Amino acid sequence: MIDFKQLAMPGPVALKPYTPGKPVEVLERELGITGSIKLASNENPLGCSPAVTAAVQSALGGEFFARYPDAAGHELKADLAAYHGIEAERITLGNGSNDILVLLAQALLGPGRAAVFSDYAFAVYPIATAAASGQARIAKALGADSDMPYGHDLDAMAALIDDTVRLVFVANPNNPTGTWIEPDAFEAFLRGVPQDVVVVLDEAYYDYQPEEWRIDARRLLDAYPNLVVTRTFSKVYGIAAMRVGYGLSHPGLADILNRVRQPFNNNAVAHVAARAALADSDFVDESVALNQTGLARLRQGLDQLGLGYLPTHANFLTFDLGRDAAPVYEALLREGVIVRPLAGYGMPQHLRATVGTADENERFLTALSRVIAAS
């Protein structure tokens, strides 16, 4: 018998696998029900821009499938460079922004090197760190009764930086909390970080933020060569299945990441889809507007149920059951409503619900009030 845990590096062996939101098909097969809704993975409830579907459909075909994609992703990078007003050499394309986080860890971490991130931060940070055999330094988050409960405490994060640290992950807004950081506070933090520590600003929910809270990454990238900003097409653009994300950084760091990444880490369909998605800003505006209305409705519904929730600038709301949330999660599943349990994040009394369509939000609130009334 081979003991593969003896063979592997200790970092990967110590990892807990990522638990994704339960897919609708899996729930329906398990319970023999139909008509369920999934509000568990922060996907866009409108789907994607019709222009994406049209562009993908017209590209499909034997020749298109037979050829390798453009390994450098020239066309998508050119579009992104124009969109952000930066040089294409600053862009690294990823198979989702998850890929960029992993590439950063692979390039910068290893035995004897550490990454800093917050308690209750995105689950991929510990995974990417351990997979690269780096050490995780986890900062205490802001208190449950602060005005940004469970949010990043940038002072606590700065205090963990020493000369073994090469990477800091900051999610803004953060998942699974929805909490955010003030642009001035982020810049003050950056100013205090040594230049040989790379700071990742993960902006997966960028477009959902009110204008006045958006960090001006373009300006900061010029001023702070150790900054990397990551963005994704999985959330507001509605093409999570395509797996496209990217990093914006100093060209020197992009050059390193481009050496590490698989040459064909984006498939050709994904390139077509992302270009069409980026071009449809009306779809983004419509999605953001739907999210604002939906968030207001969810807050109102939770208020009526007497449940607390965290502040959010994203497309989800994390709410507090005030007791073990697992039975509520299970009961919601039986009502055909999938949300996200957060016990794995150390928040066993909270659940995270993605903002859905108006109909989905009503389904969720009705199911939740039934479940609470019955318990």
Ligand X SMILES: *Cc1c(COP(=O)(O)O)cnc(C)c1O
Which residues form the interface with ligand X (CB under 6 A)? 42, 96-98, 122, 171, 175, 202, 204, 232, 234-235, 240, 245
Task: Give the shortest CB-234-to-ligand X separation in angstroms.
Answer: 3
Task: Give the shortest CB-369-to-ligand X separation in angstroms.
Answer: 28
Backbone phi, psi, residue 211, to 5°:
-45, -45
Beta carbons of 149 and 310 less than 8 angstroms apart: yes
What's the maximum distance between 2 C-alpha atoms anywhere in the chain?
59
Nearer to ligand X, 209 or 369 (CB): 209
Supply the Cα-derived Rg of the chain in whole angstroms. Answer: 21
Nearer to ligand X, 319 or 367 (CB): 319
Task: Give the shortest CB-176-to-ligand X separation in angstroms.
Answer: 8
Nearer to ligand X, 230 or 258 (CB): 230
CA torsion angle for 154, 160, 165, 169 (degrees, to 10)?
-30
Total Cβ atoms within 10 A of residue 107: 18
Dihedral (CA of 32, 37, 43, 46) sign: positive
Nearer to ligand X, 93 or 171 (CB): 171
Task: Give the shortest CB-204-to-ligand X separation in angstroms.
Answer: 4
| H/E stretch holding 37 | strand 37-38
Task: Give the shortest CB-296-to-ligand X separation in angstroms.
Answer: 22
Task: Give the shortest CB-366-to-ligand X separation in angstroms.
Answer: 27
Count CA within 13 A, CB hemisphere, residue 343: 9
Task: Give the shortest CB-230-to-ligand X separation in angstroms.
Answer: 7
Task: Give the shortest CB-71-to-ligand X separation in angstroms.
Answer: 19
Task: Give the shortest CB-291-to-ligand X separation in angstroms.
Answer: 14
DSSP 101-162: HHHHHHHH--TT-EEEEETT--THHHHHHHHTTPEEEEEPPPPTTSSSTT---HHHHHHT--
Total Cβ atoms within 10 A of residue 221: 19
Nearer to ligand X, 97 or 301 (CB): 97
Nearer to ligand X, 94 or 294 (CB): 94
Beta carbons of 54 and 276 less than 8 angstroms apart: yes
* Closest chain position to ligand X (CB): 96
Nearer to ligand X, 100 or 253 (CB): 100
Nearer to ligand X, 122 or 309 (CB): 122
Nearer to ligand X, 42 or 312 (CB): 42
Nearer to ligand X, 169 or 329 (CB): 169
- H-only helix segments in the chain: 4-7, 10-14, 24-31, 50-59, 62-66, 74-84, 97-108, 124-131, 154-159, 183-192, 217-223, 251-260, 268-279, 281-304, 326-334, 358-374
Task: Give the shortest CB-361-to-ligand X separation in angstroms.
Answer: 20
Burial of 52 (0-12, 13-18, 19+ CB in 10 A): buried
Backbone phi, psi, residue 2, to 5°:
-85, 135
End-to-end CA distance of the chain: 48
